[in-house]
Structure 1
């Protein structure tokens, strides 16, 4: 079933009304988010399944000075939600005006009047409205008055505590993409447009597709094994460097440079998705370009073996 995205909460078509919706930011769409969505579906199996979320993430509006922290941008989040069987994604533009909306108006004007929701689900700690003035207790009371059902879902947890976007960000920043993947339910990916670089990779014998991190979280700097998905759906193994390239650059900007194995086509201007699997080594400054070239060759051999082993273990 095809998922539908709506970005204007004031003009929702009649066929999208009457859904059961999970509420939240859903950054990462991790196992905890999947648990919330599936619990809602089990409680309301006959209702269309929806998600109410926000773009940008409220933290990006309120704390613009913070470093980029997003696990998934809007397109990636929509695709991950669709993979969970969500039919309707109501993506509310979160701007200064919307941030001033009181909690009661959010329930009345948005959830009830605009979306016509039949049932909603959220975590016990969900807060909403101006200055996060609405808590789950208020939501339960007001939703009941409006005839909207409510399911409060306890957080999914393991021995380390509840699954959370914050926990996954920490794993990536500490250099554990495989552990982050286990909590996401899939490898973490950076999606972006291939842009022109300084062509140093080509001169070293390892041409790269360069992708700016943009609003994505910057993971631990270093060299990773990757799988690269092209716009036409084809996938290739790859080895990527994420960081400031201390041997050949001025260190002013972190970026991702991915060498796609056994691939030679032009990708400039195209959007690719790069999934991180293993951190081969952390970022290092080499004494010469020859030393860097030798290390890249070694990284590539190691990446091929690790990726081959990964496929064989599936």
Structure 2
């Protein structure tokens, strides 16, 4: 039960990052690798501010703002300089590695002696796992509620229209370049927020904690889509959260089987491959089964 609780609570924190990846990957139809840099950026900014005596709440919000700025840079590179989305993410991610080192001043920063959002909750009598679970539920609920309301406004619908059909959106007077930049900013702001929360859960910020972030985000998205392929945006956001929790439970099960932690990235890639191929496999199976039923009839 402790493993399930721990995996669920961490899955909630990772889900915020997965939702951020979803905004660019599905809504804007962009493969944005900035996530690999904005995730540790959020952790670095939050950790450094906590060490310097900032309130955990303000440090977390500042970390989110740093991610928004990173997304703004990627958005400008892509829309103004016309750099392809994939190269844009690589450029920003590479630059953020040095920026994160500058912010922290070293490869990792320990915050175990500082107050965090989690210690605020544990001071009320909650255990560490329960505190992380409560924090995750609160954060995910706020994020999903705000995004659901936002994407049902005229501005939010313009962003969705841009990703769905950019030429048609432009013909209807939508400034698609601005919409893409806003999408980048929202996405990386959420990813940096997730990085700040995960850093507070781990007790330290590390320069390499963003490696594999995009794989985790994509796996959470695809798992949610495999379970329910055609649902509304609000339900999709909830399914991403469930997908992130399922992913963490799978990883916990793999570790329980005795797999070395150094092999987790390999298993993450395998899990994502299985999830990505699931729709094709399901289609092939249906195509094989249905004709046999028709022949019986």
TM over 0.5: no
TM-score of the superposed pair, with normalisation by structure 1: 0.23
TM-score of the superposed pair, with normalisation by structure 2: 0.24
Q: Give the structure with the larger helix fraction.
A: 2
**Bigger radius of gyration:** 1
Higher relative contact order (CA 8 A, sep 6+): 2
